[in-house]
Amino acid sequence: MSSVERSGTFRLGDLLVKRLGYGAMQLSGPGIFGPPRDRETALAVLRQAVSSGVNHIDTSDYYGPYITNQLIREALHPYPSDLVIVTKVGARRGEDASWLPASSPAELTQAVHDNLRNLSLDVLDVVNLRNMLGGEASMEAPLMVLADLQRQGLVRHIGLSNVNPAQIAEGRRICEIVCVQNQYNLAHRGDDALIDNLSGDRIAYVPFFPLGGFTRLQSSTLSGVAQSLGATPMQVALAWLLRRAPHVLLIPGTSSLAHLRENLAAAELDLPDEALKRLDGLTSLAAS
């Protein structure tokens, strides 16, 4: 059994994925903009992830833009039959590398077609609508566009990203939502109640920035637990997320083969009850 298989599985709609996946965002250039510094290593990371058992890759055409999807196509197409590629729409990049909303009907339709073309797919497995407009924004109009594209056979399943419970409830009145992708990790636990609520409805919860994002998690408690287990702090942080709930799916990203192997090995890490209690007790990594 590979490390990834030990993470378990969960369904995104009718698609069975291993709970430990891979996020492709970091494969593009600095600031998630432009080409990678080392294209051959980027391709090697993707191939190594899949050969290690990963069958859930998270991406978007606005990473780069277009870069990560083109790398995925070059590295992995024709794709393994069990590979699930999840992409996002609802944002675009400015010429200055800024992140801008892009949720008009024309922009969403173009984004779906761009993802299909750059990934060389006839249908997108899962499309997450990324909310760029804040907690008061309605999801109805953009989700209606995605639901129509789903009826056309271009999108298999729909998810939401960067949303609150009210927006999720609104979205579920429009179409089936198979996953929610929000920020969550040891230091950022605002979605604890939401995770518990989604569990009963068998909706996957996919934390972005599971290792802290652009600034990696740091804590004396985390480091102490890692040292006691002969693991790295990042492996412990991922193992904690895997223990959090069976519908939590992980997509840690990296552009390094060494870090990829380190991340995937987290599935083999057993957290003793005492270690879990210490980690659960962290309310702020900055203060620990």
Closest CA to 263 of 12, 18, 15, 16: 18
Beta bridge pairs of residue 84: 56
As a whole number of angstroms, the distance between CA 45 and CA 193 comes to 35
Cα-based distances in Å from 220 to 186, 216, 287: 13, 13, 9
Beta bridge pairs of residue 159: 128
Contact 249, 17 (CB under 8 A): yes
As a whole number of angstroms, the distance between CA 49 and CA 65 comes to 22
Burial degree of 287 (CB within 10 A; 0-12, 13-18, 19+): exposed
What is the Rg, in whole angstroms, of the alpha carbon atoms belonging to the chain? 18
As a whole number of angstroms, the distance between CA 196 and CA 143 comes to 24
As a whole number of angstroms, the distance between CA 234 and CA 240 comes to 10
Closest CA to 70 of 34, 110, 21, 123: 34
Contact 248, 224 (CB under 8 A): no
As a whole number of angstroms, the distance between CA 232 and CA 281 comes to 19
Which listed residue (22, 63, 184, 205) is catalytic?
63
Judge whether 63 counts as a catalytic residue: yes
Q: Which residues are catalytic?
A: 63
